[in-house]
Structure 1
């Protein structure tokens, strides 16, 4: 889903650096260096995940099930500050504007939850590890080199990647593993887009407003 965002450069504190030449990759890498620092400075290197509750069940004999509950608390997600370029970037000119197009990804995004399970008087506490691989983002933005006014033409999260869940220590409730892993994957799949979109867009927009693009 594309989105346009116009930015008043007077609202953005600048650390302006001029790059000569038309090396799109170097320019994007410099933008991302700036964006990574902004994400860290604004606390987006450690995002809070929402609490969640799930139920699981075991069929004792045909037509009779016993149910348990699981609570996932104190969740966090790290790694937005590892954003990087994927593939080659391009720079194009259209009148006074320079347009940047590039693919983006992350070196490492992961996190975890504290999990609390209860089933028929059995209570278990354990930790959940999370890892998200191969997130694929496309960015196209236009910048006026004279004013550093920024327009985000496209910001598409094309693929939320592969979500890995590491849930161990269930002991006698190990039979519920598959059901709980599926629940957590669905949960992250539903919230990950919103968690990523605004921080990454804001980080990229301020970086574009800070650094003069290469001249041709």
Structure 2
């Protein structure tokens, strides 16, 4: 499916390539990498949606807890499931790119980001024979990602990702509703959800999203403006 999506996009990529390196335009060589990354991310966004990653399935999370009542320790558990995460396709350039051209090696770095990400889970808690159903909603203000790639300027070469990793996850707001008499486990459940989402984000961005980005970079090799030589 990914290969099909990339092939379908190639005619558009070719047309955009001409616009990107048009030396008769008003664009200076300094801004060509901004345009290149913006173009690449446009197609990354499309493939993310095509691959069913926005919204994406979240893993189930289960936490255990206990409380002592009248000298007896009781055990219970809570879980969130059927989780869906929205926002991966908002990936975009955040600020200017930077590049160096050292002989025959091009190095390009950029700060990328995700905005207004959210998630929703169904939830359930059980303690002392009491079982309640609940739900959890999550909002993440921002996710910052660092991109670093380089390319040997030679036939058949393309930009190869050296680093593609999360540098910061903004405020995570978690709201769990419906726990009723078991709302005292809220803190434990919220902490578990936050940690689970942080780990999941790192895995999916530095795994599947990195692979999607590399596939697009392999298909679309930047044409370096002649003014730089």
The match for 1:165 is 174
The match for 2:58 is 49
The match for 2:149 is 141
| Structure 1 gaps, min length 5 | 1-11
- The CA distance in 2 between the partners of 1:34 and 1:201, in whole Å, is 13
> What does residue range 149-188 of structure 1 map to in structure 2 within 5 Å?
149-188=158-197
1:158 Cα deviation (Å)?
1.9
- The CA distance in 2 between the partners of 1:36 and 1:122, in whole Å, is 44
The match for 2:135 is 127
| Structure 2 gaps, min length 5 | 1-5, 22-27
Higher strand share: 1
**Contact in 1 for aligned 2:117/2:142 (Cα 8 Å):** no
Choose which of 76, 88, 94 in structure 1 pairs with 2:84.
76
Higher helix share: 2
- Say which structure, 1 or 2, has more relative contact order (CA 8 Å, 6+ apart): 1
Aligned residues: 204
- The CA distance in 2 between the partners of 1:145 and 1:169, in whole Å, is 60
The match for 2:24 is none
- The CA distance in 2 between the partners of 1:187 and 1:68, in whole Å, is 20
Choose which of 96, 103, 112 in structure 2 pairs with 1:104.
112
1:195 Cα deviation (Å)?
2.1
**Contact in 2 for aligned 1:36/1:81 (Cα 8 Å):** yes
Say what the alpha-carbon RMSD is for the aligned residues.
2.3
**Contact in 2 for aligned 1:104/1:137 (Cα 8 Å):** yes
The match for 1:197 is 206
**Contact in 2 for aligned 1:148/1:208 (Cα 8 Å):** no
**Contact in 1 for aligned 2:149/2:162 (Cα 8 Å):** yes
The match for 1:116 is 124
